[in-house]
Amino acid sequence: MDKSRIGCMQIYTGNGKGKTTASLGLAVRAIGHGHKVFMLMFMKGCKNYGELSAAKKYLPGLTIEQYGLETFVNRENPSPEDVAEAQKAVNRAMQVVAGGDYDLVILDEINVALDYNLVSLDQVMKLIESRPPHVELVLTGRNAHEKVIEAADLVTEMTLVKHPFYQGVEAREGIEY
């Protein structure tokens, strides 16, 4: 770990596809330079994401932890279990970010967890403030909060132009998960 490196805070947001996969691409690039990467998934309990088995089999430099149930969260009325999972995730994220042992930390779908009120703005801002200067922090997910955008160094918005979902193509193995 090179603690003299300058880390930034990045956000991948927007309605188009490519936010989680962009962060995984960044992870692969970082691992190629021997950097340590931690990805923490919010609101994702489903075990069949290709990135989970790829990391286990081929990428010892990439640690992934998942939090959340397998079912979709009801935005208007999230279950106590949904909230508890997101709270576990945000506390773990605080530990990982502030600990400074990982060069790149990806908090996947944390923007959605905030948008659904599973975590508070205060918690997310504290997390951002706890980032040691050498750590690169990436927050993904739709509807990034304006205060979080303000705090970022790099913000990319994926714009939906076309998606095969709207032609009736269901989520595909190896492409969507």
Place of tokens 């095969």: 164
Using CB under 6 A as the binding rule, whether residue 142 contacts ligand ATP is answered as: yes
Residues 6 or more apart from 21 whose CB is under 8 A from it?
Answer: none
Considering only the stretches 76-84, 116-124, 128-136, 158-166, report the one whose residues sit in contact with ligand ATP under the rule CB under 6 A: 158-166
Alpha carbon 55 to its chain centroid, in Å, reads 15
Q: Name which of ligand ATP, Mg ion, none residue 15 binds, using a CB cut-off of 5 to 8 Å depending on partner kind.
A: ligand ATP
- Nearest distance from residue 79's CB to Mg ion, in Å? 21
CA–CA gap between residue 148 and residue 120 (Å, rounded): 12
Whether 82 and 117 have beta carbons less than 8 Å apart is answered as no
Instruction: Tell me the Cα Rg of the chain.
Output: 16
Using CB under 6 A as the binding rule, whether residue 98 contacts ligand ATP is answered as: no
SS3 20: helix
Q: Which positions from 10 through 29 interact with ligand ATP, judged by CB under 6 A?
A: 15-21
- Nearest distance from residue 112's CB to ligand ATP, in Å? 7
- Nearest distance from residue 5's CB to ligand ATP, in Å? 26
- Nearest distance from residue 16's CB to ligand ATP, in Å? 6
- Alpha helices, H only, 18-120: 19-32, 50-58, 80-99, 110-115
Using CB under 6 A as the binding rule, whether residue 171 contacts ligand ATP is answered as: yes
Q: Which is nearer to ligand ATP, 65 or 134 (CB)?
A: 65
Q: Name which of ligand ATP, Mg ion, none residue 18 binds, using a CB cut-off of 5 to 8 Å depending on partner kind.
A: ligand ATP
Q: 92: which strand partners?
A: none
- Nearest distance from residue 86's CB to ligand ATP, in Å? 15
Using CB under 6 A as the binding rule, whether residue 44 contacts ligand ATP is answered as: no
For residue 107, the surrounding DSSP H or E stretch is: strand 104-108
CA–CA gap between residue 82 and residue 77 (Å, rounded): 10
Given the rule CB under 6 A, which residues bind ligand ATP?
15-21, 142, 158, 160, 163, 165, 171, 176-177
